[in-house]
Amino acid sequence: MRVLLAGGITGGHAYPLAGAASFLGDNTDFEVFWYGIPGKIEEKLAYELGCFFVPASFSRFDRRFWFSLTREVAKLKRLDVDVTLIAGAYLSIPAIFAAKSGSLWVYNADPSLGLANKLGMWLGGRLISPFGNYLGADIASDFSSYYFKRRFKPYLKIEKFLREDDKKVLIVGGSQGAEVLCRLAVDLKKFAPLVKFKIFLIAGKHFDKFVEFEDEELQIADYIEGVSHYFGKFDCVISRAGAGTVFQLIDSAQPAILVPLATSRMGHQFRNAEMMGEGGVIIKEEEISKISRVLESLMYIFSNRAIMMEKLQAIRKELGVIPAKEGLNRWLAIIS
């Protein structure tokens, strides 16, 4: 059976597809193609997982949009795949039009559908989402976590950091990094000895700019694949509110301070953050420079972590966010 995965550019779009690719790779009856942008995260993942990478020559900003779309659809149709799985964003559009009738699956990690996924659903796609009463609602957690479960390796720097006795705070800005959170880490470390906590910052593409601030109170890494494995070992996580991150925080029952991206499409990161309920604290991006606000939230989480964890466990149960390989096996049974 031939399977086409379409999407990427950011971790939120790429890693659910990587979960599917990793799972299908464990089953030798599948030939997996990954349609993505050369040089982006999906190309690296495709080659790592043994997929055939199909480079996209398509952009939503292309002045000859309809010509490019027609050309890309024809290219994907020649692959003659049996199943197509998309993960949203404009890169999914050619795959939607190339998919055979009844073969399209739409992975959507947000509470609301984006334009590409709406198009896919309108054209007969079947939805896999952790939100709502959909056919795939109970299996979506596997897509976001299976890749990391299979590929996870302990990261020595963070393993050493976790042996510290003080309270531990993880600050992570997503697959692209977030400069505002890197600056927050530098500002927070001034108060770390007083409050007795230490910070581990995942700086992403801003690593070179901020590594000079590393010291006993602040440890810095560029990027750690599968960092969600460590969520439950920290006293607090400070993060953006991408759907994948929020999903993993709920799964780990990890209290967090969430700083939604102000420019996120239709404010979806604010809606994602609200999914945490009383298990999280939301701070708007324009307020993050008020260090007293952040410290107040940190102290609240340190004091109420056990109660907040119980709230998140209840949310996890309500959403059905209970990772189990049975979910992917169920999807495999359906597409086969």
pLDDT digits (tens, 9 = 90+) for 183-200: 999 999 999 988 899 999
Q: In this predicted structure, what is the pLDDT of residue 324?
A: 44
Task: Label the pairing between strands 236-239 and 218-221.
Answer: unpaired
Per residue in 205-224, pLDDT tens?
A: 888 899 999 998 999 988 77
Strand partners, 238: 171, 257
Which 3 state secondary structure label does DSSP give 3? strand
Q: Does 168 have pLDDT greater than 70?
A: yes
Q: Does 34 or 335 have the greater pLDDT score?
A: 34
Backbone CA torsion sign across 109, 115, 118, 123: negative
Largest Cα–Cα separation, the chain? 63
Distance CA 6, CA 75 (A): 13
**Residue 320: per-residue pLDDT:** 62
Look up residue 297 and give its two tokens: 């939230």
Amino acid making up residue 208: D
Structurally, at CATH architecture level, domain 2-151 sits in: 3-Layer(aba) Sandwich (3.40)
Lowest mean pLDDT among 15-24, 240-249, 262-271: 262-271
- Is residue 251 within 8 A of residue 257, CB to CB? The reply is no
- The tokens describing 41, both together, are 């995260």
* pTM (2 d.p.): 0.67
Angstrom distance (rounded) from CA 96 to CA 90: 10
Read off the pLDDT of each residue in 271-276 and give the average, rounded to a whole number.
87
Residues of the chain with CATH 3.40.50.2000: 2-151, 156-224+226-319
Query: Is the model's pLDDT at 179 over the cut of 60?
Result: yes
Specify the 3-state DSSP secondary structure of 168.
strand
Q: How far apart are CA 33 and CA 26, in angstroms?
A: 15
What confidence score (pLDDT) does residue 137 get? 46
CA distances from 294 to 137, 273, 285, 290, 312 (A): 34, 16, 11, 7, 21
What pLDDT score does 60 carry? 63
What does the alpha-carbon distance between residue 193 and residue 196 come to, in Å, rounded to a whole number?
5
pLDDT digits (tens, 9 = 90+) for 71-129: 999 999 999 999 999 887 788 899 999 999 888 988 877 666 778 888 888 888 888 77
CATH of 156-224+226-319, one of 3.40.50.2000, 3.40.190.10, 3.40.640.10, 2.60.40.10: 3.40.50.2000
**What would the pLDDT profile of 296-309 be if each residue is shown by its tens digit?**
999 999 999 999 99
Tokens of 117: 């996924």
| DSSP H or E run through 85 | strand 83-86
pLDDT band at 158 (very low <50, low <70, confident <90, very high): confident
Looking at residue 133, what is its pLDDT?
46
- What is residue 187's predicted lDDT score, i.e. its pLDDT? 93
Q: Is the pLDDT of residue 328 over 80?
A: no
